[in-house]
Amino acid sequence: MIGKDIDLAIKLLKEGQLVGIPTETVYGLAGNALDENAVTQIFKVKNRPTFDPLIVHTNTIEKVHDFVLGMPEKAHILAKHFWAGALTLLLPKKNIIPDLVTSGSPLVAIRIPNHALTLEVLSRLDFPLAAPSANPFGYISPTTAQHVEAQLGGKISYILDGGSCQLGLESTIVGFEQEQAIVYRKGGISIEAIEKVIGKVEVKAHSSSNPQAPGMLKSHYAPRIPLILGEIGKLIPEYAEEKIGILSFKKYFDGIPTNQQFILSEKGDFGEAAKNLFAAMRTLDQMDIEVILADLLPEQDLGRAINDRLRRAAAKS
């Protein structure tokens, strides 16, 4: 059931049930992060392997300190600049956070989301929420309540409708080793924006097993139809015998019906492209086509994070 009833969402969460919640990044599948039964249900509903950790959501930095043993100076600086927002910090956890949430890691991924409805929910709860994306594991992340309902509607109690996600791309995950900041997942805060605040960062590649942070698996965010990356103009002749869909940054291609082409941003705007990415992949995945041809964006700004998602969506192809 989809609705805007915050009181109902809070009631269900207090009862240990799961609720779809809106954030500025993507919709989350939320449950009480301190309740192992609720967390177990998140893994079951998503069909998510328990070695892939979850992100914990709360609404104030003061509450963050209730769940972590400490924050390095650079973490404080990043939190001050980017919270509430699309930044997740990987920090040493207190025992109050179940090991199930962190997949046995001593570090917990935690953030303050920037969405008015969810911030109100969090402000009225005495526990944080574990909330991975509200989709079956490995599939395209949802950016509307309707996406959540189409995929998980029969498995969860309620979906809090906060409209379309403003950003449409998951959070950037940053951890720390001694004084070095490390980006474990590219996301809605660009590398350039982070480095402007705290200086040079290290960027980790994805992990194929036992990831150190959520969203690091090689194959992820994938449509069911094979997605092929490359120069679209050169790929089209190779796949001429198949029904082709196009996912392009900013141009249309001759010879393919325009209704089978999705342009992320005709004006070449990275923010617009990020917001449209998952909805575009989902739209193409529902078409009567046999292959999706896609090109990479310039490796800068949010283009890095979009390319990361495209590469992982193409990995199983």
Confirm or deny that 57 is annotated as ligand binding.
Answer: yes
Tell me the C-alpha distance between 296 and 248, whole Å.
8
Q: What is the mean pLDDT of the chain?
A: 93
Q: What percent of the chain has pLDDT over 90?
A: 88
- What local confidence, expressed as pLDDT, does residue 209 receive? 45
Predicted confidence band of residue 50 (pLDDT cuts 50, 70, 90): confident
Q: Which two tokens stand for residue 26?
A: 């993507």
Confirm or deny that 311 is annotated as ligand binding.
Answer: no
Confirm or deny that 171 is annotated as ligand binding.
Answer: yes
Predicted confidence band of residue 257 (pLDDT cuts 50, 70, 90): very high
Domain positions in the chain are 2-203, 227-315
CATH class of the region 227-315: alpha beta
Measured at the CA of 45, the angle between CA 42 and CA 49, to 5 degrees, comes to 70
Superfamily of domain 2-203: DHBP synthase (3.90.870.10)
Confirm or deny that 309 is annotated as ligand binding.
Answer: no
Q: What are the tens digits of pLDDT across the range 222-238? A: 899 999 999 999 999 99
Torsion of CA 215, 221, 222, 227, to 10 degrees: -100
Predicted confidence band of residue 174 (pLDDT cuts 50, 70, 90): very high
Confirm or deny that 304 is annotated as ligand binding.
Answer: no
- What local confidence, expressed as pLDDT, does residue 42 receive? 96
pTM of the predicted model as reported, rounded to 2 decimal places: 0.91
CB atoms within 10 A of CB 106: 11
Q: What are the tens digits of pLDDT across the range 137-173? A: 889 999 999 999 999 988 999 999 999 999 999 999 9
247 three-state secondary structure: strand
